[in-house]
Structure 1
Amino acid sequence: RVPIHACMHGQNLAMHARVRSYCSTTHFSLCGEVVGEARSVQCDCCGIAEECTPTYIGRVRAHFHGKWVCGLCAEAVKERQQRDPDLAVAAAVDATAALCQRFNSTVRLNPKLSLASSMRDIARKSCQHRGATGSGTCTAGAGINSSDAACCGAGRATSCALRYV
């Protein structure tokens, strides 16, 4: 249900009851004027559906170069642009959509495999960090899949590395 906004609070309860059925599908601005019928729209990044007014949908699509982006993905796009200011909005949206696609095709299908992949990536980054600072036994840039059999004391041979990603 769409709430009746601030300017509608002075109305009596009978009027409120008559308007309520109309308000369930129509959005009002703060002064009570009709903004438009709510309609369902699907995010081009993650696929979530939201109900919004055509005016709002138009503003979002104008900002994201014709693509509808939900609030969560919009924040991800904004964060990506803050990390890389030279990145265009369209490229940031495409990168976020690729991340969502990768998540939906791996984590949702096989969470255990995703956990193993994440743990492998953490071990690889830890090894690279130790090698770069000189405190580990491996050279900078060496990882779990390197030819060193005992990178950072892991003691794992290259033939044992999982290659599913």
Structure 2
Amino acid sequence: MSISPTEGTAAAVDLNFAECECCGLGEECTPAYIDRVRERHHGSWICGLCSEAVQDEIHRAEYRISIEEAIDRHMRFSRKLHLAAEKPEESAELLIAALRQLMRRGLESRVPKDRRQRALVGGRRMR
């Protein structure tokens, strides 16, 4: 029994190029996948890594935020990093700010969420 060269091969798949609106990463994806990602992110096409960062923004927020607000926060952060790469003289300052933000996130994640929520009164932290 012989197999012809066309048997067992996958059918041609229509691929489109999509670029992440946060970090600029480009990927080849099916149109259906691009549509699902845009639907999930309210019209924005976001790569998997940025999607995880957006979810992290939502979970880390002191109060409930929308997906749109989380995307906006992540896009602002991503733009700052891109600007730092374009202007090396400002990159040290932005790197320090990014490290400060990462350290705060790490420290805040160590405090149980219920204790953080009890510290909130009217949307503000008590000191």
User: Above 0.5 in TM-score?
Assistant: yes
Given the alignment of the two structures, is residue 100 of structure 1 paired with residue 83 of structure 2, yes or no? no
- What pairs with 1:80-95 in structure 2 (closer than 5 Å)? 80-84=57-61, 86-95=64-73
Instruction: Give per-residue Cα distances to partners, 1:117-163, cap 9 Å, x unaligned.
Output: 5458879x9xxxxxxxxxxxxxxxxxxxxxxxxxxxxxxxxxxxxxx
- What pairs with 1:58-69 in structure 2 (closer than 5 Å)? 58-69=35-46
1:80–1:121 Cα change, 3 Å: closer
Q: How many residues align?
A: 99
1:60–1:105 Cα change, 3 Å: same
CA distance in 1, matches of 2:55, 2:15: 26
Q: Once the two structures are aligned, what percentage of the paired residues are identical?
A: 30
Per residue, is there more helix in 1 or in 2? 2
Shift of 1:49: 1.0
What residue ranges of structure 2 are gaps of 5+ in the alignment?
104-127
After TM superposition, what 4+ stretches of structure 1 lie above 6 angstroms from structure 2?
A: 120-123
TM-score, length-scaled by structure 2: 0.64
- Structure with higher Rg: it is 1
- Larger RCO (CA under 8 A, 6+ residues apart): 2
CA distance in 2, matches of 1:120, 1:15: 56
1:53–1:79 Cα change, 3 Å: same
Please tell me the residue identity of whatever aligns with 1:14. P
